Amino acid sequence: MIRRSALAAALMSLVLFSSAQAQQQTWEEFLEGVRAEASAAGISEATLAAALNGLQPIPRVIEFDQRQPEGTVTFDEYMKSRVPAELVTTAQQRFAEHEPLLVAIADHYGLDPEFIVALWGLETRFGSYTGGFNVIASVATLAWDERRSAFFREELMNALRILDEGHIALSRMMGSWAGAMGQSQFMPSSFATFAVDWDLDGRRDIWGTKGDVFASAANYLSRSGWRAGLPWGGPVALPAGFDTSLEGNRTTMPLADWLDLGVTWLGQGPEVAWDEEASLVMPGGEDGPAWLVFENYRTILKWNRSDYFAMSVVTLADAIAGR
């Protein structure tokens, strides 16, 4: 019965996938257009042949992209699952193992090295799982699908360029179903903008070279607005009757103004200037914990626009640093 149900589900997925494509260009027509565009952009015929000859769409990628969440994970549940004690221990071990390299890279880019390790651990469990999908096939499938075709067509062009420049072999260019790649889970466009060849071997290898992985993450944060020496924020208590409509990253005001409203640090607050712009975040809702956060927290949101994710990063980074 289970096997029959699984087979029926797979057949239904294929039928829906085929139906969704019926009113648009065929896969072959799509690939022909990709070849022409990529060739005009200077990508070699050898690369295009290797990447596109025999390439087939992946119905499961469309299924993942269209799938709606079946339930809501609470902030507390998320944090417990994303930052368990064993991850903290491993993160501290990895930091110690790579500390000289991490410090050199962090000093170069002007940030704290524990944040590099936190992102590395949360994205791929320190490189242990970087995704099992062929990146070219994944982004090509999503580019063929009409809903976000322009975005993923650009990602496909960037992915083909990465191959053409020799940064990774096609057989090793694996990632998430959406095309996020390597130990830092960069989309191809992020690779083009932020990936770094730290060891100067001519390749920006975010899949296997630790220096490139760490420097690429550091470069992303640095170029996204990270400010050296600025704390990310800290937990606060709110006075009775506080106007929680002020909550959210879109509302910023000087730290002094928050304190004037009765917001108080829990424990020793971070040392920042009174005029430093801060936001109040309450990822768990009005009945959950609250934090005042500064610009570096908002910079993490440029990596992933989820307060859940950003809080997991700063929590793990603090644990690595022993804060």
Question: Of 11-25, 193-207, 225-239, which gets the smallest average pLDDT?
Answer: 11-25
What mean pLDDT is predicted for residues 289-302?
A: 98
* Cβ-Cβ contacts under 8 Å for 42 (sequence gap 6 or more): none
Model confidence over 102-142: pLDDT tens digits?
999 999 999 999 999 999 999 999 999 999 999 999 999 99
So where are the chain's domains?
233-321
Which tokens is 233 given? 């924020």
Model confidence over 66-76: pLDDT tens digits?
885 556 789 99
Distances (CA, A) of 190 to 29, 136, 311: 28, 15, 22
The one-character DSSP state at 236 is E
Q: What is the pTM of this model?
A: 0.88
SS3 content of the chain, % helix, strand, coil (to 5): 55, 10, 35
Q: What is the pLDDT of residue 274?
A: 96
> Please, are residues 162 and 178 in contact by the beta-carbon 8 Å criterion?
no
Closest CA to 199 of 211, 190, 207: 211
Q: What is the pLDDT of residue 115?
A: 98
